[in-house]
Each structure stands twice: as C-alpha cells, then as structure tokens.
C-alpha cells in the first residue's frame, strides 16, 4: 500500500467514525496528533490576566488534543513596545508562565495530556531580550 492509499484508508476510517463526536475519537490511537491553535482575548501589558486566559482555554480543551499553540507573545501582548524593557512586566511574565506550568501539572493523567506552547518575552541575566515560544508539558518547561 503506497502513501496515498494509506491516507485514503485513514480518511475512510475517520469518516466511518463520524457517529462519534470528534472529541471522543482517540486520534492518538490512530497514529495522528491533534494540534489546535488558540487565540484567546489578549490584555496588553497584563501577563497574569493573559495567563488566566491560557489556563481557561487549556482546562476547557478536551483531553486528546496533543498540542495547544497560542500566539506569539500572547503572555504580554505583541504591541507593548517599550514595555518589553520594563522589569516589572518581565517579572510578571515569569510569574504568569509559572502559573501556566502549575496548571498543566494538575491535568488528569488518565488520558493524553496536551503540550502547551505560549509566547512570552525572556530576558537573559546579561540583559538581552528574546521573543520566546515556551513549550510546557505536565508541569515542566520542556523547550
């Protein structure tokens, strides 16, 4: 069976399962990853409120979604410009990330847990500033 035939068989299997709600299908058991992009409401310059939005979306997502991807710099908002150099904003961003990490640790482990990708500024000890995508899984920053 060539690659195209495998894809057709996989699609036929998925369509044959259409009697179930999509959230009930265990795509991971079929060899697929369910990836979802989420754009929550962003509160400019308010990392803690943005973390609440991420956590709310994470907890509302049915288990079985492999990856939840949030927008670039969604922890602070993209257009805060000079505030990226503000230590208070950077400290609040670190606290917001900690809150998200803790929320992913609490997830029920009976079913697959989602990997979460969020964007935030990161300041190195020598003062360099980076736009970073943090990869969080089961209570740890893994990338």
Classify residue 120 as exposed, middle or buried by CB count within 10 Å of its CB (0-12, 13-18, 19+).
buried
Confidence of residue 107 (pLDDT cuts 50, 70, 90): low
What is residue 19's predicted lDDT score, i.e. its pLDDT?
45
**What pLDDT, in 10s, does the model give residues 45-79?**
999 999 999 999 988 887 667 889 999 999 999 88
Q: Tell me the range of 27-36, 78-87, 105-114 where mean pLDDT is highest.
A: 78-87
Classify residue 17 as exposed, middle or buried by CB count within 10 Å of its CB (0-12, 13-18, 19+).
middle
Cα-Cα-Cα-Cα torsion 33, 36, 67, 53, nearest 10 degrees, comes to -160
Which token pair is 112? Answer: 């697959």
């Amino acid at each position: 069976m060539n690659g195209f035939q495998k894809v057709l068989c996989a699609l036929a299997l998925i369509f044959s399962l259409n009697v179930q709600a999509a959230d009930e299908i265990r795509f991971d058991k079929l060899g697929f990853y369910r990836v979802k992009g989420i754009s929550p409401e962003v509160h400019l310059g308010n990392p803690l409120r943005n973390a609440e939005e991420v956590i709310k979306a994470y907890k509302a997502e049915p288990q079985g979604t492999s990856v939840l991807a949030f927008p670039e710099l969604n922890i602070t908002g993209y257009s805060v410009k000079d505030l990226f150099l503000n230590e208070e904003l950077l400290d609040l961003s670190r606290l917001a990330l900690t809150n998200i990490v803790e929320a992913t640790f609490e997830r029920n482990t009976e079913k697959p847990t989602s990997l979460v990708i969020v964007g935030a500024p990161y300041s190195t000890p020598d003062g360099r500033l980076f736009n970073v995508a943090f990869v969080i899984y089961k209570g740890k920053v893994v990338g």
